[in-house]
Amino acid sequence: MSDRRDLPLTSFHWGTYRVEARDGEVVALHPFEEDPDPSPIGQGYVGVLNGPDRITAPMVRKSWLEGGPGTGGHLRGKEDFVEVSWDEAERLVAKELRRVIDAHGNESIFAGSYGWASAGRFHHAQGHLKRFLNLLGGFTKSVNTYSLAAGEVILPHVLGGAEFIYGATSWQSIVSDCDLMVAFGGLPLKNAAIGQGGVGAHRTGPALLEAKAAGVDFINISPLRSDVPEALEADWLAPRPSTDAALMIGLAHVLLSEDLADRAFLDRYTVGFDKFAAYLTGKSDGVAKTAEWAADICDLPADTIRTLARRMAKGRTMISVAWSLTRQDHGERPFWLGTVLAAMLGQIGLPGGGIGFGYGATNTVGLERPSPRFQALPQGRNKVKTFIPVARITELLENPGGSFDYNGKTHTYPDTRLVWWAGGNPFHHHQDLNRLRRAWARPETVIVNDWCWNALAQHADIVLPCTTPLERDDINLSPRDPYLVMMDRSVPPAGQARDDYDIFRGIVQHLGIEEKYTEGRDAGEWIRWLYDASRQSAARAKVDLPPFDELRAKGWHKLPAPEKPHIMLEDFRADPEAHKLRTPSGKIEIFSERIAGFGYHDCPGHPIWVDPAEWLGCAKESQLQLISNQPKNKLHSQLDQGRLSQADRIAGYEPALLHPTDAAARGISQHDIIRVFNSRGACLCAAVLSDDIRQGVIQISTGAWLDVKDDTGLCQQGNPNVLCLDKGTSKLGQGPIAHSCLVEIELAGSDRSPE
């Protein structure tokens, strides 16, 4: 280990590593000595930096290069590319930007990038793209995230801010004060391997074991037994997917009808409970939302629901609602209803109790850390006011000039002529990918910064090859993680690949705005500037950071953990007048007058049950419900070509988890290659049979690179997003609903085609 401490450090969203390189190649990534539970994901980089999928020079799609903007959009993803020089690529991009802005205005540029390209504070591709385009007048942006868009929209109405998503009560308090953790959507450790902005040490797994040892009991409410670690010995309840809202409503009815609700808390800290109570009892609609009512929807015994409600009321209970529950039809409701349940129990603001959003979703949720503000790369001001909810990109491209509702207002889709992506991959994140592929043919130009030939790069017109974190210096400086890490360049860039900063620096020279973009700094000077500004900001919050050169010499620094556990909404509970929430009432809004005023038929101002668009309650006998969860061997689709991800495939196919009863009914055996399909598309997978999944459900992790060879819509690699419905959660949040999806399966090789 002593020798490894001399190796350079780098940091990713999935962990920090000591990098061993030889002859310009990364040969191993060794876990950071401070990490008690390191992730293996980084090993995916070994062997791929100079592999066959690497983009080593600027490339332009052949017919676009020959015919200009608007030529052969239908050939994106199918046509060959032509290598050009950096000077030629820069001139083409600068000329196209001038043309689009002059002829159509800045709102016709959609910069839909996503922020997971690098954990470094400076080399943040999305930030550089926004800074660059803002200097030219701006662009149409996206708002919210694929992870939990509906939750990001509903929480400001209910609790006064989306920051509560990341402000959960710390693990320290769970360990010392919690009796029961009820995990709607589970506590999947594979998701907790990730942390936005970088991970120094993984905390979630060790914290859960500490809680178990301290006597905390766990309830796993999920179609997958593995969504809570086996060592926690959790009770497993497996309702039908997408029925968590109905289960929560049924639990609320039990608390109300058996006089287990804390009326003093509801009266002092919330508004609108009486309206919700009228819904529970059926006074408002004639249907009592009893345990039997919920049992019929969820396919759980009514006695199980009653027993759980009583158990929750008996001791200190933390209700954890997974981010994944927002990715279903009407995904706003689980976050809202989880808050209502916690309010009825009267434990919000108490140590170890209340509500938490996304324990196990990332390493940052529940992490004990100070929260200083750190400096980000200044992006300037975007003068363009048009935007889309992040998951509405297909509609943006399909329907220029069309309208959409979002969070109480009606907006218009601009006429998109140019798409620029730097970071992220819509052919991973989005749903109904065959529909997206058709819409993707409409823009006149698509520009992509990327380092490997994934589906996004293949569907571009101009590809600008960028470096990876292993090929540049940077600094991991995340306000959500206590570790600061100097990220040292370990190997030289592959071919002609450039840092994103240098890519844009080359283009601005052709546009006459180089000084405004660079402010006279090179990358190293920017990194030092960001750190020095962050150090000053931290000092104002009474957090001491070492001088830059001292940090550079040591390589890393850990901020001290707060002495007192963080308890979400503790101040509000102590004095709701002095610490009012940023809701119209200053209280928790079980009923929202503002939302009621939007006039949405499926949301009368408080959460209600509405049948999902696709779920087992309306399925044909031959259909299964698809759960397309996060992968364990990569972040989103990053490093799918790496050895870790590829090693988990079966005969080259992505695994699909099935209950043995469902498999037997279809003549499917262990490791058979199956075709999973519906009217939107199909994909090939290898069947894995297990009792650890609810009957009627199939699970395929996301992240496989899209590989559709023809117009059949069949993905050879097993990307489940060719199957998922592309529809907003509701007019309120307009988030993605990947988990509201029905499919059929059969042995591969059948002559049957998608219906």
- In order, the DSSP letters of 515-534 are HHHHTT--HHHHHHHHHHHH
116 is known as an active-site residue: yes
Place of tokens 């926004």: 130
Name the catalytic one among 14, 17, 116, 293. Answer: 116
Q: What is the C-alpha separation between 514 and 398, in angstroms, rounded?
A: 35
Phi, psi of 362 (to 5 degrees): -145, 165
Contact 739, 328 (CB under 8 A): yes
Give the DSSP H/E element, type plus range, for residue 246. Answer: helix 244-257
Q: What is the C-alpha separation between 371 and 680, in angstroms, rounded?
A: 44
Phi, psi of 496 (to 5 degrees): -100, 15
Q: What is the C-alpha separation between 203 and 362, in angstroms, rounded?
A: 10
Q: What is the C-alpha separation between 471 and 464, in angstroms, rounded?
A: 16
Cα angle, residue 728 at apex, residues 428 and 296 outer, rounded to 5°: 105
- What are 521-527's contacts with CB under 8 Å, separation 24+? 523/122, 523/123, 523/472, 523/473, 523/499, 524/473, 526/122, 526/377, 526/501, 527/121, 527/122, 527/473, 527/474, 527/475
DSSP 8-state symbol, 195? -
Place of tokens 């997408």: 242
Name the catalytic one among 14, 45, 114, 531. Answer: 114
Pick from 369, 358, 347, 371: nearest CA to 569: 347
Contact 719, 628 (CB under 8 A): no
Q: What is the C-alpha separation between 640 and 29, in angstroms, rounded?
A: 17
- In order, the DSSP letters of 136-183 are TT--BEEES-TTTHHHHHHHHHHTS-GGGGT-PPPHHHHHHH-SEEEE
* Dihedral, CA of residue 351, residue 354, residue 355 and residue 360, to nearest 10: 40
Contact 365, 356 (CB under 8 A): yes
Contact 517, 378 (CB under 8 A): no
Pick from 232, 249, 208: nearest CA to 590: 249
Give the DSSP H/E element, type plus range, for residue 355. Answer: strand 354-357
Phi, psi of 236 (to 5 degrees): -110, 120
Question: Which is it for the CA torsion 635, 640, 643, 649, positive or negative?
Answer: positive
Place of tokens 């830059």: 548
Written as one letter, the residue type at 6 is: D
Query: Please, what's the b/e burial string for 676-715 (b: 16 or more CB within 10 A of its CB; e: otherwise)?
Result: bbbebbbbbbbbbbeeebbbbbbbbbbbbbbbbeeeebbb
Give how far the C-alpha of residue 59 lies from the chain's centroid of Cα atoms, to the nearest Å: 30
Beta bridge partners of 421: 448
Beta strands 418-422 and 109-111, pairing class = parallel
Cα angle, residue 721 at apex, residues 718 and 725 outer, rounded to 5°: 140
Pick from 94, 135, 131: nearest CA to 462: 94
Q: What is the C-alpha separation between 631 and 720, in angstroms, rounded?
A: 12
Question: Which residues belong to the active site?
Answer: 114, 116
